Chain A
C-alpha cells in the first residue's frame, strides 16, 4: 500500500509487502523491521494509537513449551478406548448452595453482546450447552438469546454495570466479579460508536453511536476489604445460592489470588496476556500483563498456601487452543479453562471462505483483528444486521460443540497416557519443559534434567 498520509488506522496495520523485499542486498533492521516502520508511519499520519481486537500477538513462553511424560515402566497408562477418564468438574463448592456442575472443564469466557452479535452470543450458548459447559455474559448485560440457549450461564459483574439488574442476577447460574482481563489488566471496556446499535445503546443506557470507553474501576468499592462486603451483598441478593467467581487479568497473580480468596471468592479466574479482547489499544494488549504459563503456578501456590487448592476452584484462560493446552493447564493445577478467541474461530471467525471480504478490509483470513470496526464478514464481531445474519446460530453452535468435544477428547487422550482416570488428576509431575524460560515460569523441570530454574536440583 503506498503511503499517502491518509491511510485508515484499520488498514494501516495490514500494509502489503512492497516489491523488492527478496533483494539480498537490502538489509532489514532487527530494531526497526518493516512492521515497526509502518507503525511509526501510521501513528504519524493519524495521531492516534492503534486499536484492535484479539490478544497478544507477540511470542511468549506458552503451553507449546511443555511436554507430557507418558506412562511406561514407572507409571501405568489407561486403555485409550476402554477405560474411563472422567472430565466433569464442579465450580463453587466453597460457599454456594447451588454449585455449577459441568460435563467438561472447558468453559466459554465472557464476551459481551455489543462486542458480539446476538447471533454469535446465541451460538456460544448453543455450543456450550450441547457440550455440557457454561457460557458467560460480558460488558453489556444479559440477552434473552444467550440465557435461553445456555444451560449454564455465568453473569459478569463489571465496573460499567451496563444492564445490571437483580432479575438477571437471579437468572444466572453463577456471578463473575470482573476486576480485569488478560488483554488489558487495568483497562476498561471499549466499544466504538459503529457498534452501538439501538439495542446495544438501550441495554447500556447510552446514546446511540457514541464511542464508549467504560470504567476500569468498580464504582462502589476500592480494594479487597470492600470487595468482601460486595460479595456479601451479591450473596444476600441471591440467597447464597450462586457461586461467586472473581476474575483477574494475570499480573501480580500470587497476591491477587490470595486477596480474591480472602474476599470470599468461590472460584478465581485468571486470564493471561494472550487472552483476547474486542477492542483495546495494541500497546496495552502487547505490553501489559504476564503470560498464562507464568500465572498458573503463582495462582496454584497462593491457593495451596491458603489450603484452598481444589476448594476454591481455579479457572485459567488466555491462549487455550487444543486439548493439549487444556491438559497442561490442568496439570499445572487449574480446575478448568476458559476459551474466547478459540471459541470465536470455531463459530466461524477468520473463515477462509470470506477471504475476499477480509482483503477488502485490508486484512486476510487468519489475520482479521479489527473487531472494533463492526464490519466482521463472518457476522460475529458486528452489530450490522446484514452481516450478523450471515452467522447461523445453530450451525455455528454445532461447530463450537464439535470443537469442545475435540478439546475434551484430546485432553483425555493425554490424561490416559499419563495413567489418569480424571482430567483433574493430571499433576505437575507429568510435565517437563522444552525451554529454560518455560521451566522457570511453569516450575517444571527442563526436559531430560531435574532442573527447575530457581530451585535446587532434586535426587533422581
Chain B
C-alpha cells in the first residue's frame, strides 16, 4: 500500500457519483476464481470494493459490464486485462500489463505501474497517477493512456492508434516503429525511437490533449507545456535504403 492511501470514496472516475460499495470482497478469502466470477457475472450496476488483493495476478480481468470496481491495495500482472466497459480503480501499485488489451471502460491506478501498461489495448482510458515502467503503451491500438509521472524505455513501441500523454519524462527509444499514435510528453524525452519525430502542436492537438487531461482528471497543467511526437511514416513501406533504421 502506498503511504497516501486514498479512501475509495475519494476517487472519482469520470461521470460517476461515488457512493459506498454495494459489495465488499476480500480477495484473499474469496479466492481469485470466485472473485473474478462474481465481477464477470455482475449486471453492470455493481459497486465493488476488493480488499486484500495482496498482489494477485489476473484480478478483475475479462469484465464486460460498466460496474465500478475499486481494488484497495497493490495488484500483480494483468490487472483488469481485456477490460471491456468496467471502471476499475487500483488504490496502489500494479504489476506488468495493467489493462492489457482493454477494449473500453476506465482503469485508474493511484500508484505506479510496471512494464507494458496498456499493452495492445484497443480502447478505453488508462490513467496512471505515478510512473509507468518500460514498454508503456506497447502496440497500443486505440486506447488513451495518461501517465502522471514518467515512463520507461521503449514506450509506445509499434503503437498503432490512440493517444499517450505523459506529464513527466519518457525513457529511451520513445515511439520506436510508431504507426498512428499521438504522443504528448510534458517533460524530457531521453531519445526517440526509429521513425518517431517531434511534430508541431496545432490547435486541434491542443484541443485533443486538453480533453484527455480533463477526462483523466489532471489539473494544474496547460497544454502548452507539452510537445507532440508522432510517426514520420518513412518505414511504412520497406525501402532498402532505410535498412539501417531498423
A144 proximal to B (CB < 8 A) = no
Contact with B along A221-258 (1 / 0, CB 8 A): 10000100110110011111000000000000000000
List the B residue with the shortest CB-CB distance to A46: B240
Evaluate contact between A233 and B61: CB separation under 8 angstroms.
yes
CA distance A165 to B102 in the complex (A): 8
B73 proximal to A (CB < 8 A) = no
CA distance A110 to B135 in the complex (A): 28
Q: If A205-B141, A211-B237, A220-B97 touch, does A239 touch B37 (CB 8 Å cutoff)?
A: yes
When the two chains form the complex, which single residue of B40, B157, B237 contacts A210, counting CB atoms closer than 8 Å?
A: B237
Contact with A along B97-118 (1 / 0, CB 8 A): 1001101000000000001100
CA distance A166 to B103 in the complex (A): 8
Contact with B along A198-223 (1 / 0, CB 8 A): 00000011110111010100011100
CA distance A239 to B236 in the complex (A): 39
Evaluate contact between B101 and A165: CB separation under 8 angstroms.
yes
A151 proximal to B (CB < 8 A) = no
Q: Which residues of A contact B115 (CB under 8 A)?
A: 220
When the two chains form the complex, which single residue of A167, A219, A236 contacts B61, counting CB atoms closer than 8 Å?
A: A236
Evaluate contact between A206 and B237: CB separation under 8 angstroms.
no
Evaluate contact between B77 and A160: CB separation under 8 angstroms.
no
Evaluate contact between B160 and A205: CB separation under 8 angstroms.
yes
B180 proximal to A (CB < 8 A) = yes
Which of B's residues lie within 8 Å of A, judged by CB?
A: 32-33, 36-37, 40, 57-58, 61-62, 64, 76-78, 81-82, 84, 96-97, 100-101, 103, 115-116, 119-120, 122, 135, 138-139, 141-142, 157-158, 160-161, 179-180, 236-238, 240
CA distance A236 to B59 in the complex (A): 9
Evaluate contact between B237 and A236: CB separation under 8 angstroms.
no
Evaluate contact between B62 and A236: CB separation under 8 angstroms.
yes
Within 8 A of B (CB), among A368-423: none
When the two chains form the complex, which single residue of B64, B78, B103, B236 contacts A220, counting CB atoms closer than 8 Å?
A: B78
When the two chains form the complex, which single residue of A209, A215, A226, A237 contacts B82, counting CB atoms closer than 8 Å?
A: A237
Q: Which residues of B contact A101 (CB under 8 A)?
A: none
Evaluate contact between A207 and B236: CB separation under 8 angstroms.
yes
- Name the distance in Å between A344's Cβ and chain B's nearest Cβ: 25
When the two chains form the complex, which single residue of A206, A221, A237 contacts B160, counting CB atoms closer than 8 Å?
A: A206
- Name the distance in Å between B191's Cβ and chain A's nearest Cβ: 20
Evaluate contact between B81 and A240: CB separation under 8 angstroms.
no
Evaluate contact between A220 and B240: CB separation under 8 angstroms.
no
A311 proximal to B (CB < 8 A) = no
Evaluate contact between B77 and A207: CB separation under 8 angstroms.
no
Can you show 20 pairs from A to B with CB atoms below 8 A apart?
A: A160-B139, A161-B120, A165-B84, A166-B64, A169-B82, A205-B122, A205-B161, A207-B236, A210-B236, A210-B237, A219-B116, A219-B119, A219-B157, A220-B119, A220-B120, A220-B138, A229-B77, A230-B78, A236-B36, A236-B61
- Name the distance in Å between A152's Cβ and chain B's nearest Cβ: 22
Q: Which residues of A contact B138 (CB under 8 A)?
A: 219-220
List the A residue with the shortest CB-CB distance to B97: A220
The total of interchain contacts (Cβ-Cβ below 8 angstroms) comes to 101
List the A residue with the shortest CB-CB distance to B82: A166
Q: Which residues of B contact A165 (CB under 8 A)?
A: 82, 84, 101, 103, 122
List the A residue with the shortest CB-CB distance to B142: A205
Evaluate contact between B238 and A211: CB separation under 8 angstroms.
yes
Evaluate contact between B236 and A236: CB separation under 8 angstroms.
no
List the A residue with the shortest CB-CB distance to B158: A215
The 6 A-B residue pairs with the shortest CB-CB distance, nearest first, are: A237-B62, A220-B97, A233-B58, A161-B120, A210-B236, A220-B116
Evaluate contact between A47 and B58: CB separation under 8 angstroms.
no
Q: Which residues of B contact A77 (CB under 8 A)?
A: none
Q: Which residues of B contact A447 (CB under 8 A)?
A: none
CA distance A201 to B156 in the complex (A): 19
- The residue in B101, B138, B142 that gathers the most chain A C-beta atoms within 10 A of its C-beta is B101
A60 proximal to B (CB < 8 A) = no
CA distance A136 to B155 in the complex (A): 31
List the B residue with the shortest CB-CB distance to A166: B82
Q: If A166-B62, A238-B62 touch, does A233 touch B77 (CB 8 Å cutoff)?
A: yes
A21 proximal to B (CB < 8 A) = no
A456 proximal to B (CB < 8 A) = no
